[in-house]
């Protein structure tokens, strides 16, 4: 089916690879104009060019989600270049291992500055844009299966994702009066560069082969397979569109059946 513009604009942080790229591609196919925001601007440009560039409804923006001013500037640029703003996908994040005894003040600050603070700055910037434009909107952030149940070896990552869920629930209550919905998507084990790096590191630290590292994260998946990034993008598509207008404050788990609520 040919793409048909829906008149909406979405910005995706961490949109240059993995889940973020899949989300940007899916939303573009859904008819959104998309701003692909990433620290890796060259990679973001390649994704935007693949989608037809500015004339095709896709632009690349440089952003550092740990920097509040950078996030606000990216949203302002998206509004200016794409002519509106309706959805923000706070997707950017990192997932290093964090054995309990190795956690430091520096590692806490780094992980929270990206995974949690980035969501706060994105939410604030989106609210400012929505209100200036005189309409509501959708704020959608990356939680995780590990933000619903603590996962071994990634205590800090799990903590940031629990924090994202808590922030989202309160934001949903506070922002409903402005016609803004706030939700999260919670992926399980997705075949992305980030997950591959984590599996390799887990295996190396244990002196095991890479396949062992993957097994530590994939055992217990009811559907018996790893997630593709497109599986997650499909849920983000739903949350970005009109069919989810009566959903707010929720975290939709997309993990193949690892955590049951």
Catalytic residues: 157
State the Cα–Cα distance between residues 115 and 222, nearest whole angstrom.
27
Q: Whole-angstrom distance between the N-terminal and C-terminal Cα of the chain? A: 35
Rounding to the nearest 10 degrees, give the CA dihedral for residues 127, 128, 129, 132: 120
């Amino acid at each position: 089916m040919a793409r048909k513009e829906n008149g909406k604009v979405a910005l995706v942080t961490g949109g240059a690879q993995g889940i973020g790229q899949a989300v940007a591609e899916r939303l573009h196919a859904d008819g959104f104009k998309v701003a692909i925001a990433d620290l890796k601007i060259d990679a973001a440009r390649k994704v935007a060019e693949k989608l037809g560039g500015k004339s095709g409804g896709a632009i690349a923006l440089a952003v550092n989600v740990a920097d509040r001013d950078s996030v606000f500037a990216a949203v302002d640029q998206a509004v200016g270049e794409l002519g509106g703003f309706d959805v923000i996908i706070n997707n950017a994040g990192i997932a290093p291992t964090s054995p309990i005894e190795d956690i430091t003040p520096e590692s806490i600050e780094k992980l929270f500055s990206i995974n949690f603070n980035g969501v706060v700055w994105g939410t604030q910037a989106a609210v400012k844009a929505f209100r200036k434009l005189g309409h509501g909107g959708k704020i959608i952030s990356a939680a995780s299966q590990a933000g619903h149940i603590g996962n071994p070896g990634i205590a800090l990552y799990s903590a940031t994702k629990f924090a994202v869920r808590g922030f989202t629930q309160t934001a949903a209550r506070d922002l409903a009066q402005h016609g803004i919905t706030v939700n999260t998507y919670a992926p399980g084990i997705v075949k992305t560069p980030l997950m591959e790096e984590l599996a390799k590191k887990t295996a190396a630290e244990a002196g095991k082969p890479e396949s062992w590292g993957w097994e530590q994260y994939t055992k217990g998946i009811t559907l018996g397979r790893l997630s593709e990034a497109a599986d997650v993008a499909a849920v983000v598509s739903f949350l970005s569109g009109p069919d989810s207008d009566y959903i707010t404050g929720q975290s939709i788990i997309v993990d193949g059946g690892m955590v049951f609520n």
